[in-house]
């Protein structure tokens, strides 16, 4: 039970209010879909969790925010905020 809640939270994203709710939605949909296909659906959920933590640490909300920034034309410089020069 506890690992399921953690998986939902990390998949959705921990930095926002809507991230865990998005994680719940994705988890339930994937669980229903994968359990129809195979009895080993927890293995696939675990693999999804590992991939998300390694490659997308901000969760699905990070992807959504990145896409919103690209479509809004606010592409970053690629440098961390602390390294960017402030123009006055």
Segments in the chain below pLDDT 50:
none
Q: Where are the domains of the chain?
A: 2-72
Each residue of 48-77: b (16+ CB within 10 Å) or e?
Answer: bbeebeeebebbbbbebeeeeeeeeeeeee
| pLDDT for position 76 | 55
CB atoms < 10 A from the CB of 20, how many? Answer: 20
**pTM reported for the whole predicted model:** 0.69
| pLDDT for position 28 | 92
Query: Taking all residues of the chain, what is their mean pLDDT, rounded to a whole number?
Result: 82
| pLDDT for position 53 | 86
């Amino acid at each position: 039970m506890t690992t399921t809640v953690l998986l939902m939270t990390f998949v959705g994203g921990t930095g926002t209010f809507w991230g865990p709710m998005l994680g719940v939605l994705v988890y339930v949909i994937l669980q229903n879909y994968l359990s129809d296909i195979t009895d080993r659906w927890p293995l696939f959920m675990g693999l999804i969790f590992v991939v998300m933590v390694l490659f997308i640490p901000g969760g699905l909300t990070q992807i959504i925010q990145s896409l919103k920034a690209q479509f809004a034309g606010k592409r970053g410089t690629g440098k961390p905020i602390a390294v960017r020069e402030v123009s006055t």
